[in-house]
Structure 1
Amino acid sequence: MKTFIKGNLKKIICPFLYYTGYFDHRLRKQKEKAIILMYHRIHEKGDGAGVNKGAFERQMEFIKRKMIPIPLTDISAWLSKRKPLPPRAIAITFDDGYEDNFANAYPILRKFDIPATIFLTTGHIETTKVFWWDKVNEIIRKTKKPFIHLKDFQDFIKDGYMHSAESIRLNTMKEKICAMKTVQELFKTFEYNRVNEAVALLQKILDVEEREIECPPMLNWHQIREMSNNGIDFGAHTVTHVNLSGVSSGQAEEEINDSKKIIEENINKPVYGFAYPYGLE
């Protein structure tokens, strides 16, 4: 419910701030700082699993008109005092490496001549492997069950205590979108090596067959090389999207280095950037 209310408030407040000139006022004051936007999927469904293609194009049009889009490497150079930062600077990034970054986002970025960086989970590139959160979204989208009880996942909570015994309604697409976000946030608190077990339980509870699940495809190396040759940078995002805070330093080092090496070998360019899966905790 809180997620639903928050989402609706954004839809009301953001247009108001835009048309009153508040954003222009804030942008004029933006000096010696940069904004970094992070996306995942850009698709045409608009069903809560990413950003709608039309909305993304409007956002890029606004950025091109009001701001100065720069490569993420320029911000790195500014932070190390090797390069000045232009006013109203902004960098566009994507995590994971979904195919719709190429099919939907890339043409729009080229249209507005906006650079971007895509951080690749290399173990998923050119494969049919599925991220657990995509499977969660598909299970919730396809279920015919009217609700889900979060207390059913009591055993997965690290301290053994369910912080909310909330039941989530699943009757409408709006309710399902809210449920997707809530369940994902809950599952992120579980021990990393038990998340797939929790996903399997969710699938059983919501009675969704494996054949019903259609998860988004990932980029292939041909698409990556084409973008790399046309203004898109690439960075590492580990091999398996593991939560680095939950593994040994040796495994973390291997995940980071192998991801970087695989990208460099496939695009024949050095890779400088790295994005932490799940953020830096």
Structure 2
Amino acid sequence: MGVWGEPVLDVHEFERHVTFLAREYQPVHLSELVAGLEGQTRLPRRAVALTFDDGYRNNLYLVAPILARHGIPATIFITTGLIGTDGWMWGYELEEIFSRHPPEQVCHASGDLAIIRMGSLGLSPRVLTSACVEYLKDLPHASMLDIVERLRARFPVPVNDENRFLSWDEVRELASQGFELGAHTRSHPILTRLPLAEVDRELRASRDMLEKKLGVRPRLFSYPNGATSPEVTALVSRYFQAAVTTRSGLCTRESGLLKLPRIGAPVPVSELAFELVWRLTP
């Protein structure tokens, strides 16, 4: 269960997903899928690529053993500036803060008038947290960071095991197990909320750090929060061969290698099966 008691994709349900995919589909690395879309290789029928964003430690200790049992490859996109740190993804950090402290007190401490007004509406903590996070995502990156840092200072929360990031040794261990590693920026900003010069620095820094730590230059990228624009995509094309979004859909040659869609993992495997069958039905 999640912080608010909502159902989440735990290891048992994830193994059901993996069992289903291994039985009904042909899992491949994302790079193989990209090569197939480029016409460089012939893809197997019902090819599917598994991807994981961010670089959480549970990718090694929970996900990897399940995939190994079923012989399924996967690609993990690494947020290089969070590897080896006790940092949080700020959205999950705020969720933890709101779950531990009176919501109106948290909203007032933000110093932001819109958040303070939201805190006075009597919303449930779960709804209020979601509204605040979505509001913050729409702000310029620097403004969002100012508010988040203010709340971090007022309500410090140690990172928990579920949200802890890999170390670089653990990233290398995943690579040795056959995981494909791609870039996910240095600090996980929403790129459409950054000046383009800063977008360029984020892309270059994440690519270069992965190459330095692993000895291989990454060719794949995942947009934080799935957000891009023509200008951002053009910058991504300078550093990477292909990139994935969070737009829901199947990858085809018409998708464009720099804006590949993905299907999110719903909690019950029955919903995943329905989503894939529905997408594949002419």
Q: Same fold (TM over 0.5)?
A: yes
Supply the AA of the counterpart residue of 2:209: I
2:224 corresponds in structure 1 to 277
1:94 corresponds in structure 2 to 52
Supply the AA of the counterpart residue of 1:71: H
Supply the AA of the counterpart residue of 1:129: G
- Residues 202 and 76 (structure 1), Cα distance of their counterparts in 2 relative to 1, 3 Å cut: same
Unaligned runs of 5+ in 1: 1-44, 171-175
SS in 1 for 2:203: helix
Checking the alignment, whether the CA contact within 8 Å between 1:93 and 1:119 is kept in structure 2 is yes
1:243 corresponds in structure 2 to 190
1:168 aligns with 2:120: no
- CA–CA distance in 2 between the matches of 1:262 and 1:203? 27
1:114 aligns with 2:72: yes
1:125 aligns with 2:83: yes
- CA–CA distance in 2 between the matches of 1:254 and 1:198? 23
2:167 corresponds in structure 1 to 220
Offset of residue 273 of structure 1 = 0.3
- CA–CA distance in 2 between the matches of 1:106 and 1:165? 44
Offset of residue 99 of structure 1 = 0.9
1:194 aligns with 2:143: yes
Checking the alignment, whether the CA contact within 8 Å between 2:141 and 2:194 is kept in structure 1 is no
2:209 corresponds in structure 1 to 262
1:134 corresponds in structure 2 to 92
Unaligned runs of 5+ in 2: 230-282
- CA–CA distance in 1 between the matches of 2:56 and 2:216? 21
Matches within 5 A, 1:40-79: 46-47=2-3, 51-79=9-37
- Residues 60 and 181 (structure 1), Cα distance of their counterparts in 2 relative to 1, 3 Å cut: farther
- CA–CA distance in 2 between the matches of 1:274 and 1:209? 33
RMSD of the alignment, in Å?
A: 3.2
1:21 corresponds in structure 2 to none
TM-score using structure 2 length: 0.68
2:277 corresponds in structure 1 to none
Question: Which of 231, 234, 255 is the matching residue for 2:181?
Answer: 234
1:80 aligns with 2:62: no
- CA–CA distance in 2 between the matches of 1:73 and 1:255? 22
User: Which has the larger strand fraction?
Assistant: 1
- Residues 119 and 129 (structure 1), Cα distance of their counterparts in 2 relative to 1, 3 Å cut: same
Offset of residue 137 of structure 1 = 1.5
Checking the alignment, whether the CA contact within 8 Å between 1:139 and 1:213 is kept in structure 2 is no
Percent of paired sites with the same residue: 28
Checking the alignment, whether the CA contact within 8 Å between 1:149 and 1:168 is kept in structure 2 is no
TM-score using structure 1 length: 0.68
2:61 corresponds in structure 1 to 103
Checking the alignment, whether the CA contact within 8 Å between 2:29 and 2:75 is kept in structure 1 is yes
